[in-house]
Structure 1
Amino acid sequence: MKKKEIVIGVSVLISASLPISVYAASNESMSSRDFIIDETNEFEDIVKQILDVKSKHPEWSEQQISDFMDQIHAIKKDGVIDIWNALTSSEKKLVIRYPFDALKVNKAKEIATKQTERKFGKNGLGDRSDAFRHGIWNAEMTVLIGSEKAELFATAHEDKDTTGNESDGYTKDEHKKMDLHNNEIGRKLGADNLSAPEEKMAEIIYDEIMREDSLFVWLHE
């Protein structure tokens, strides 16, 4: 068994040098609205590894693939947890099941982080900027992969231990409820504005956030 894992590991490393377009060519979920992926993106490397393992072992279950990915990402780089290990167990399953959609989810996350910084000058926790970030992330996911899959990925992201408090003093459970609510509002706004480019979508979400009777919620200013 160990010998097989070593062979697979080598092939994964070799495949990491291939452009993602090699894998994407026959994937039906890729469309004209797809984004350009940074070749140095660590998340892209994760997807390449998964695609390589799935190609060589189509008989493996999602759990087997997840276990193998856990093995090859078990070693921390300079004590830092990599992207794969930062995912929840539910997120890992979705990345394995829908690898190309996962790339779009990651792109939506990058858009959300960037636009939140532009609008608020920070990416806060439990405040309006947090609500905005979740809102635009889900709106952009809805544009890229549809509302149904966007909900799957967003909910999987919140599948975490909710015992204890976050650094702002509010409970993790309060944060989870806030995030799930704002995720839903973001998807609704995204579905209502599917043709909106990134900057326009950011304005739509921001305007709703700043309304006195906003549909979004936050725990503190």
Structure 2
Amino acid sequence: MIIMKRFSILILGILSLFVLQVDKGYAQTPDELTLTIEVVNSLTQEDFANAFEILTLNNDISALTNEELERKTVIIINDIYQSKQNKITPFIFGIPLNETEVLLAANYPYEAAAAYSSSDVAKQRVAALFTAPLADHGNANAFKHAYWNVEMSFHLTQRFTKMFADAHEANASGLAKEMDLYNNEYGRNLFLRMVSENKNLTAKQAETELLKRISNGNLLRKVGEQLRNTDGTGRK
């Protein structure tokens, strides 16, 4: 399964590079920088993650302008869309993309690829670290949201990290929304503090510090109809 996935990513990457070479002489247009709603509504979290992997494997991201990043991402994502035999509803953290997320992804393709690739990483890490990774409102969920924001911060500006995190909560309400927004912001602020002290900050270092802070009660979880501080329970 892993070999087949890697092979598919490699083929899509080669196709995308070919298209980019052929298209080099064309003038940039706004349509080349955005995705259609139909395409976004047909993508899964894994599709975004694959697009980001193809992009980063075949390009020096730091050497590209924002316009070039958007344009290359659109080509890759449209290739993925065309290759899909079944058009299915995308799921981020097990929930379909809401209207706000769809519009953001359509207008900011590169940022969406980075954001939802980051959510895929967060999902993998919570599954590796917690006994009940899919449980809502507990320590695992607090980690997932905070770590998602940390991971996004490695790739995106704080403006876009907050935009995508807030968009995910657009249809939420009550204590659950308050909890998620708090933990999202905590993750962003933790990244900013740590990277200011260590310009070579790694995801593993940020993860270790975040787990420590969850055990120390710095994040929030929902217990019944109350928000309470996180603790060290639920770890593998």
TM-superposed deviation, 1:121 = 2.7
Shift of 1:16: 10
What is the alpha-carbon distance in structure 1 between the residues aligned to residue 192 and residue 18 of structure 2?
Answer: 28
Q: Is structure 2 residue 110 aligned with structure 1 residue 100?
A: yes
What amino acid sits opposite 2:122 in the alignment?
A
Q: 1:121 — aligned with what? A: 131
Q: 1:16 to 1:129 in 2, by over 3 A?
A: same
Task: Judge conservation of contact 2:46–2:117 (CA < 8 Å) in 1.
Answer: no
Unaligned runs of 5+ in 2: 1-11, 29-44, 53-69, 224-232
Q: Which amino acid aligns with 2:146?
A: G
Q: CA deviation at 1:94?
A: 1.4
**Alpha-carbon distance in structure 1 between the residues aligned to 2:90 and 2:115:** 17
- 8 Å CA contact 2:90, 2:97 repeated in 1: no
Q: Indicate how the Cα distance of structure 1 residues 20 and 122 shifts in structure 2: closer, same or farther if over 3 A, else same.
A: farther
Instruction: Report the equivalent of 1:144.
Output: 155
Deviation at residue 91 of structure 1 after TM alignment: 0.9
Q: Which residue of 2 aligns with 1:154?
A: 165
Give TM-score scaled by structure 1 length: 0.60
Structure 1 position 189 matched with structure 2 position 193? no
User: TM-score, with normalisation over the residues of structure 2?
Assistant: 0.56
- CA distance in 2 between counterparts of 1:210 and 1:153 reads 26
Report the CA distance shift for 1:103/1:132 in structure 2 as closer, same or farther (over 3 A).
same
2:89 corresponding residue in structure 1: 81
- Cα deviations across residues 154-181 of structure 1 (Å, max 9, x unaligned)? 0001111x4xxxxxxxxx5221111001
Find the aligned partners of 1:216 and 1:149 in 2 and give their Cα distance: 22
- 1:186 alignment partner AA: G
Distance, in Å, in 1 between the alignment partners of 2:140 and 2:102 is: 26
Q: Give distance in 2, aligned partners of 1:90 and 1:98.
A: 12
State the match for 2:180 in structure 1.
Answer: 179
Q: What is the rounded CA distance, in whole Å, between the counterparts of 1:136 and 1:20 in structure 2?
A: 32
Q: Structure 1: any 5+ residue segments left out of the alignment? A: 1-14, 28-39, 56-68, 163-171
Name whichever structure is richer in strand by fraction. Answer: 2
> How much has 1:117 moved relative to structure 2?
1.6
User: Residues 183 and 22 from structure 1, CA distance in 2 versus in 1: closer, same or farther, beyond 3 angstroms?
Assistant: farther
Report the 3-state secondary structure (helix = DSSP H, G, I; strand = E; otherwise coil) of the residue aligned with 1:215. Answer: coil
The Cα shift of 1:112 comes to: 1.0
Between the two proteins, the alignment pairs up a number of residues equal to 161
Structure 2 vs 1, CA of residues 191 and 45 (structure 1 numbering), >3 Å: closer, same or farther? Answer: closer
1-structure distance, mates of 2:186, 2:115: 17
- The percentage of counterpart residues that share the same residue type is 22
